Structure 1
């Protein structure tokens, strides 16, 4: 039986489409990390460039590609997956975005009790004009304590939970845990999933001894990233959810 393929017919409007494909595909994946392989559920967007003469792309091929994807995702495998997508869709440029929760076991600083912390991670790949680019984006929650509040108060200082997001354009593999460590080491204090009372005392006092403005955090992180030869460029955002205001403090730093 001869079934017509309408999407492969010629389009006469002479308008190329920058990105066409599928969005918000939920799919199980495995991710390589420093601590081993982690299985998770991702939300994916997969798109390709569509030339002006082509009426439509082959939407089913995106899903078929992922159904055959069994390898653990890392820098090299995502690059391979992007090339394979373009080959199947007969396009010379395209993008893949993979967002997922990443879990890391952490140990409380005094009691030693273990618990999981979750982080939002996005891996992005793009092939354009014959060049491949790779972006690792991680959102890390931390604690910040206001230096000004500490200086002017007779006792105490206001602190808040902060969301720090790093977007790194990489030329080599950068591990998710490396990014988490960098951010947590440059905050007033890191967060934990589970704490006992001695741990609460420790993290409260540690933040008090290490006050940071939102500006301090992004600058300190930028200094560390500038010296990493694997990172071509980066963006840092920090949003501090103020405990004494009904608004956030915010800083954004891009390099170069």
Structure 2
């Protein structure tokens, strides 16, 4: 029996001929391996997005077959040995652009949870910390760019509430007969309470070639930009260490982003001025029902100029 040809509805003209910027699939889960020199590879369960632009004369982007093509592309890309997650996205974006003759732009992005082995700060117990690593590649023929980044969690302490508690302590210590010098020495050694929050720092870098950017460095810079690092495993001495250092280093969300900017300039002095840096901080407020947020997007060149002036 001859197979009946089914109509290609997606290739027909739409009723409203308006082009679309991004059409494709999200939530594509794939197991990927990232080579690590002589060591065992990193194994990640990654979630991908694969999107193309759609011209106004075409009704759809072959969504059913598109998924099959994207699945094939990702399989080809992840089977190649790679040292960088953005290489997988770049390979997939280039192949996606070639597979779709009616598109001029393709982008592939991924997110994955990444585990870091480390020791607790005082008891030196082995533990793991997790970060979300982000990669993206955009292919536009001769043009295009890559992006690599990370989202990490830490702790922040509000300087404003801490200063109010320090004022209370100052009054009480003075009433007990301590001199001004002794009071200030005590407050410097024993930082007072302030409302704390779990902070989420995001640091991303966009460039033509991200091979000079190590995602581990991005993770460390973002973690170090908050009041203190947090650890999944913590005995009492470790909890004391984290609490003390967080209150010793109280920061607003604005301070966290500015601190991140300074550390980016110091750590990545080898990068070109044209690299675009995205930094943001979001805090889960403990005494409010809203969250606090701050962000800066700038080129490395602009950040260097601003930091130089301070």
Per-residue CA deviation, residues 209-256 of structure 1 (Å, 9 max, x unaligned), is 222121111011112324631571122221122223332222122214
Pairs within 5 Å for 1:123-162: 123-128=135-140, 130-153=142-165, 154=169, 155-162=192-199
Structure 2 residue aligned with 1:206: 245
- Is 1:236 equivalent to 2:239 in the alignment? no
CA distance in 1: counterparts of 2:58 and 2:290, whole angstroms: 48
Deviation at 1:81, TM superposition (A): 2.5
Q: Which has the larger radius of gyration?
A: 2
- Is 1:39 equivalent to 2:43 in the alignment? yes
**Aligned partners of 1:27 and 1:41 also within 8 Å:** yes
Secondary structure in structure 2 of the residue aligned to 1:193: coil
**Aligned partners of 2:117 and 2:127 also within 8 Å:** yes
Instruction: Label 1:6 to 1:23 Cα distance change in 2 as closer, same or farther (>3 A).
Output: same
Decide which moves more: 203-212 or 143-152: 143-152
Instruction: Label 1:131 to 1:97 Cα distance change in 2 as closer, same or farther (>3 A).
Output: same
Counterpart among 274, 289, 300 of residue 246 in structure 1: 289
Counterpart among 211, 214, 222 of residue 175 in structure 1: 214
Secondary structure in structure 1 of the residue aligned to 2:193: coil
Structure 1 residue aligned with 2:100: 89
Deviation at 1:192, TM superposition (A): 0.7
- Is 1:163 equivalent to 2:200 in the alignment? yes
Deviation at 1:127, TM superposition (A): 1.7
Counterpart among 132, 149, 152 of residue 120 in structure 1: 132
Deviation at 1:65, TM superposition (A): 1.4
Per-residue CA deviation, residues 73-129 of structure 1 (Å, 9 max, x unaligned), is 533443222212211223331111111111111210111111122212221111236
CA distance in 2: counterparts of 1:10 and 1:46, whole angstroms: 22
CA distance in 2: counterparts of 1:180 and 1:33, whole angstroms: 17
Structure 1 residue aligned with 2:120: 108
Q: CA RMSD in A?
A: 2.5
Structure 2 residue aligned with 1:19: 22
**Aligned partners of 1:79 and 1:132 also within 8 Å:** no
Which blocks of at least 5 consecutive residues in structure 1 are unaligned?
A: none
Between Structure 1 and Structure 2, the one with more strand by share is: 1
Q: Please, what TM-score do these two structures have when normalized by structure 1? A: 0.87
Decide which moves more: 210-219 or 168-177: 168-177
Deviation at 1:12, TM superposition (A): 6.5
Which blocks of at least 5 consecutive residues in structure 2 are unaligned?
A: 170-191, 300-310
Secondary structure in structure 1 of the residue aligned to 2:123: coil
